[in-house]
Structure formats: C-alpha cells, structure tokens
Amino acid sequence: MAFKVYVDGQEGTTGLRLFEYLNARTDIELLRIDSDKRKDPTERARLLNAADVAFLCLPDDASREAAAMVDNPNTCLIDASTAFRTDPTWVYGLPELAPGQREAIRASKRIANIGCHASAFILLVRPLVDAGLLPPDYPLSAFSLTGYSGGGKQLIATYEADHDGRLQAPRPYAMGLAHKHLPEMQQHGRLAQPPVFSPVVGPFLKGLAVTVPLQCSHLKDGTSAEQLLDTYRERYAGEPFVRVHGVDDMANLDGGFFDVQGSNDTNRVELFVFGSAERLCLVSRLDNLGKGAAGSAVQNMNVHLGLDEHIGLTT
C-alpha cells in the first residue's frame, strides 16, 4: 500500500516545490487540502493525523501549532521551519551530518529539516571539527550569497515588483548578526560559539553559496587544502548528494568568477576549497529550494520510510 503524504502549507514557496517533487511519484498517495480550507485547523488536523509523513512548510509559529495537532503515533513530521532544529526531541534532518544520522532519521517521527545557509555551513565545518583539524573555538566567520526565493512568497513578490531596478544590486541583511540559523550552525557544527554570519541576497531566484574564510596559522599544524579535501572525501564517501571538488577547481570558475547558481535544480551540495598555504576559503553551494529545503525534505522522507534515497531527486 502506498504511503500517505500530506503537505501543510502547500501553497507557499517550499510547499509548492515539494508538491512538484511529490506529485510526480507513484509510490505515495498525496493527501490534498482544499485551497479555501488550507488554514482550517480541523481539516488540517484530520489530514496531519491521516498521513504517514506530513511536511510542515509553514512559518515557525504555525509549525508549532501543527505539531501540537498530531496525536497519531504513526505520523512522521518533517518540519521545514526553524522551530525545532535544535530541539533535542527532534532529529536534525541532514543525513550527511555524521555517521549514524541516517539511522536517527529512520527511527524518529520528528525530523527538523535543515536551514539552507546552515546546512551549507555545517557540511563544511563539522567534518573538520570532528577530525580535529579545526578547533571548536576557532573564531569563524562566514558569508552567504543567496537567491531571493529563500525569503518565501513575500520576498519573491518584492523582487518581482522591482520595476525601477532598485533591488538589482546585492543586499546584505541580518545586520544585527543574529541570523536565525546561528543556533543550528553552532550546535550541529559542534562549535564553541556561533560564527559571525553575513548573508547577502541577490537579484536571482535561487542558488546559494556559503564561504568560510580560514587562516592556516590557526588550524592544526601544517593543515593544507589537500588535507581538508581528503577529510571531506573520507567523510562523504558514498554520499549520493555530496560532491567534493579538487583544490582550486578552476572548471567551476567562469573567468575567475564563482557561479552561485551552479547547483540549481539538483539535490546536490558541492564543496570547494580555494586559496594558498596561508589563507583558505571553504565554499559550499546548493539550491536553496532543492537541497536547502524541498529536496532535502524529500530525501529525509525517503530515508525515514526506508526507500531508495534517490527517488525523485537529481544528483
């Protein structure tokens, strides 16, 4: 019998993208809510409890409300919001996080899907901390270049209404240095403190690249770019959605410029190390609506249900 799947928030940016992924599948039965009832708590509660897997593609408060509506012990929630990502009763939905994470996702009925900036950052940092190459108290900073779909329906509408070109320049944001992804970056990156994190949104729909600069003199003695890449290769060996590039992979630079949109329409995350013996830059690139949101939600569902992890996803 096909697994029953429901998307709460099916008309939002992440919900619509998820719906596209799921609608194409024949191995699941998609439960639908009438558009005019999509905020009706009784109807939502009925569908949430009828589902084997329910995705929450809602703002944080609405996600908390939805989670509280579920009393069917069989229903697995995969929440796209920030609400539960550091909650110890939920599992962080990043199968590549560390050995054992897939088993945890398989076993849990509460899976907190990752933040787009956070997952790109964590996949760069965590293996280096675990290997002892990057001290947990290293004073990390990071910046992220992201497409505007990361801001959901509202930001998309703002960019689409930009008829005078005012938004055509990149715009740094979260200037208070308290971006909502900091707690998950610190906790799942195993860091002593959160990084100084500066996101920048640009005039393109989707695509994201997080850059982490490192001073080699502060790493474990003699750590080279090759050693960092070897650590990634070892940690991510056999990972279908992680691609580790070679040192200074010029093939990915277009005349010396990095293409932030290069992983779009895939569920891939691509890792790069650039720089010299003194200074390095770690870069991680993904599609914020793919591996950064809806793609990884589908991957988490596949893992949880014991299905082939690739179903419906592009490597």
Ligand X SMILES: NC(=O)C1=CN([C@@H]2O[C@H](COP(=O)(O)OP(=O)(O)OC[C@H]3O[C@@H](n4cnc5c(N)ncnc54)[C@H](OP(=O)(O)O)[C@@H]3O)[C@@H](O)[C@H]2O)C=CC1
- Tell me which residues are annotated as active site: 116
Spatial CB neighbours of 212, under 8 Å, sequence gap ≥ 6: 121, 124, 125, 140, 141, 142, 195, 281, 282, 283
C-alpha distances in Å from residue 91, one per residue of 88, 95, 190, 259: 7, 10, 15, 32
Task: Go through 4-41 and write b for each residue having 16 or more CB atoms within 10 A of its CB, e for each that does not.
Answer: bbbbbbbebbbbbbbbebbeebeebebbebeeeebeee
Other Cβ atoms closer than 10 A to 144: 26
Binding test (CB under 6 A) with ligand X, winner from 77, 289, 298, 301:
289
Number of residues that bind ligand X2W (CB under 6 A): 16
The sign of the dihedral angle between the CA atoms of 187, 188, 192, 197 is negative
Q: What stretch of H or E contains 243?
A: strand 242-244
Residues within window 269-308 making contact with ligand X2W, judged by CB under 6 A: 292
58 binds, among ligand X, ligand X2W, none (CB under 5 to 8 A by kind): ligand X
DSSP classification of residue 75: P
Binding test (CB under 6 A) with ligand X2W, winner from 95, 189, 194, 199:
199
What are the backbone dihedrals phi and psi of residue 179, each rounded to the nearest 5 degrees, phi first?
Answer: -55, 145
231 binds ligand X2W (CB under 6 A): no
289 binds, among ligand X, ligand X2W, none (CB under 5 to 8 A by kind): ligand X
9 binds ligand X2W (CB under 6 A): no
Q: Cβ 13 to ligand X, closest distance in Å?
A: 3
- Which residue in the shown chain puts its C-beta closest to ligand X? 12
Instruction: Please provide the DSSP assignment of 263-289 as one string.
Output: TTTSS-EEEEEEE-SSEEEEEEEE-TT
62 binds, among ligand X, ligand X2W, none (CB under 5 to 8 A by kind): ligand X
Site string for ligand X, 135-154 (x = CB under 6 A): --------------xx-xx-
Q: What distance in Å separates the CA atoms of residue 273 and residue 49, rounded to the nearest whole number?
A: 45
Binding test (CB under 6 A) with ligand X2W, winner from 201, 219, 283, 301:
201
93 binds ligand X (CB under 6 A): no
47 binds ligand X2W (CB under 6 A): no
210 binds ligand X2W (CB under 6 A): no
Q: Cβ 252 to ligand X2W, closest distance in Å?
A: 23
Binding test (CB under 6 A) with ligand X, winner from 32, 39, 218, 220:
39
Site string for ligand X, 203-242 (x = CB under 6 A): ----------------------------------------
Question: Two tokens at 47?
Answer: 């569908």
Q: What distance in Å separates the CA atoms of residue 265 and residue 269, rounded to the nearest whole number?
A: 11
Q: What distance in Å separates the CA atoms of residue 123 and residue 185, rounded to the nearest whole number?
A: 10
Binding test (CB under 6 A) with ligand X2W, winner from 10, 13, 63, 146:
146
Residues within window 66-105 making contact with ligand X2W, judged by CB under 6 A: 80-82
Radius of gyration of the chain from its Cα atoms, rounded to whole angstroms: 19
For the chain, the straight-line distance linking the first and the last C-alpha, in angstroms and rounded, comes to 28
Size (the chain), residues = 315
Residues that bind ligand X (CB under 6 A): 9, 11-15, 38-39, 57-60, 62, 80-82, 115-116, 149-150, 152-153, 288-289, 292-293
Residues that bind ligand X2W (CB under 6 A): 80-82, 115-117, 146, 148, 150-151, 155, 180-181, 199, 201, 292
